[in-house]
Structure 1
Amino acid sequence: MSSKAASFVEAIASRRTIYSLKPVLPEKVELKEVQQIVQDIIKHTPTCFNSQGNRALALSGESHKRVWDHVYQTLPLEKFKAKPLAARDDAVGTVVFLVKDSKTKELQERFPIRADIFPELIAHSSGSAQLSTWTALELLGFGANLQHFNDLILQALPKDVIEDDWSVQGQLVFGLPAAAAGEKAFDENEVPLLV
């Protein structure tokens, strides 16, 4: 395997879910760098029919805390409140991944015979952006975990920043790792080579 490919696979393989975070930046990293990485990844992530419906917001400081406090306060069951509380208090920021629903509808109208598949394809593209961002932030020294409080996050986002036709796909909570991740366990999943 070439050294570039090996480095890429190593970065993907070392990506981990880190729940134990500190609300600080890694040394020599600024939030502007996080914003630029997210912007570049959203721009360059492939989308079906080049629809370019991926969007993102980078939250930190009071914006980050306000959004997660809303999730914490709104959840009806106490047993589900630990993750938003940790996101609010232990992380330095959140990347909110969104999609532009009008792009999905446009594809459905252009290709009605395949209309049912486009929401899934859009979700695949958003997932690609999420994984790429997660891996890139870990290369900067962050720990991160992916959350899906989508409807509650959308309610808390500033209405002057998001458009009416955006929907939330996931939230990547990030900060300085406070503890290492546990061991990974793998199912057997050998990829056959068919020639």
Structure 2
Amino acid sequence: MNNSFIDLMKKRRTIYALGKNVSQSKEEISTVIKEAVKESPTAFNNQSTRAVILFGDSSDRVWDITIDVLRGIIKDDAAFEQSKQRVSSFKNGIGTILYFTDSNDVEQSKKDFAMYADNIYDWSEQGIGSAQYSVWAALASNNIGANIQHYNPIIDDKIKEAFDIPENWVLRAEMPFGSIENPAGGRSEMNDDDRFKVFEN
């Protein structure tokens, strides 16, 4: 069988050591991100995933906002400095993608497919997860590293204000990206017998 897609999946890793040494233009990167989101599956094709693509100072602003919010939450100075150092490192990349779910689309799908209303939100989460993974893999195929962060919901209000985000868009994740300055570390894998069941007849 053709394993080229599996090889790409193995290439997609969590990269924390990001840099600005990319050869692609902002327009090329934006196009790849948009296409990856558009080609990602969603339940009933409800297309509830939204993405805001930020470069330069706009990207840095996300992490400045995060640091400011954390300063008001983390009272211990040493703990705050540790968090600040981590968050500041995301500014070393060239950009950040903010992933949102359009709650209006979710609510409309609940009405349109009332029989499945209790599952629609869960399926929207699957959809945005698929979009994140698709973008992540697409970036990796272009030798661009990324990682996923979840400072939502503590930064939601300030992010909406800073970037004029519609009220019905709900922030679900933040993805800083850039050149891969150091590869990802190793990771452990579960035993296949604990993870899979295969029935051939």
- Within 5 A, what are the aligned runs for 1:116-127? 116-127=118-129
Q: What is the letter of the counterpart of residue 31 of structure 1?
A: K
Residues in 1 aligned to 2:152 and 2:117: alpha-carbon distance in whole angstroms? 23
Q: Work out the percentage of aligned pairs sharing the same amino acid.
A: 28
1:35 — aligned with what?
Answer: 30
- Over the aligned positions, Cα root-mean-square deviation in angstroms equals 1.8
Residues in 2 aligned to 1:97 and 1:145: alpha-carbon distance in whole angstroms? 13
Shift in alpha-carbon separation, 1:92–1:52, aligned structure 2, 3 A: same
Residues in 2 aligned to 1:81 and 1:65: alpha-carbon distance in whole angstroms? 13
SS at match of 2:147: strand
Residues in 2 aligned to 1:123 and 1:68: alpha-carbon distance in whole angstroms? 24
> Are 1:172 and 2:169 matched, yes or no?
no
> Are 1:137 and 2:127 matched, yes or no?
no
1:103 — aligned with what?
Answer: 105
Extract unaligned runs of 5+ from structure 1. none
How far does residue 189 in structure 1 lie from its aligned partner after superposition? 3.0
- Within 5 A, what are the aligned runs for 1:67-82? 67-75=62-70, 76-77=73-74, 78=80, 79-82=82-85
Q: What is the letter of the counterpart of residue 104 of structure 1?
A: V
Q: What is the letter of the counterpart of residue 166 of structure 1?
A: W
1:44 — aligned with what?
Answer: 39
Asked whether the equivalents of residues 37 and 134 of structure 2 are also in contact (C-alpha less than 8 Å), the reply is no
TM (norm. structure 1) is: 0.88
Name the stretch that deviates more: 101-110 or 152-161: 152-161
Deviation string for 1:16-37 (max 9, x for gaps)?
1111112x142x3111111101
Choose the corresponding residue for 1:86, options 89, 92, 111.
89
Deviation string for 1:88-118 (max 9, x for gaps)?
3x12111111111011111222344432221
Extract unaligned runs of 5+ from structure 2. 75-79
Asked whether the equivalents of residues 160 and 166 of structure 2 are also in contact (C-alpha less than 8 Å), the reply is no
Deviation string for 1:55-93 (max 9, x for gaps)?
1011111111111100011112214333321113x1211
1:183 — aligned with what?
Answer: 186
SS at match of 2:148: strand
How far does residue 158 in structure 1 lie from its aligned partner after superposition? 5.2
SS at match of 1:17: coil
How many equivalent pairs are there?
A: 189
SS at match of 2:146: strand
Residues in 1 aligned to 2:177 and 2:163: alpha-carbon distance in whole angstroms? 24
SS at match of 2:14: coil
2:57 — aligned with what?
Answer: 62
How far does residue 153 in structure 1 lie from its aligned partner after superposition? 4.8
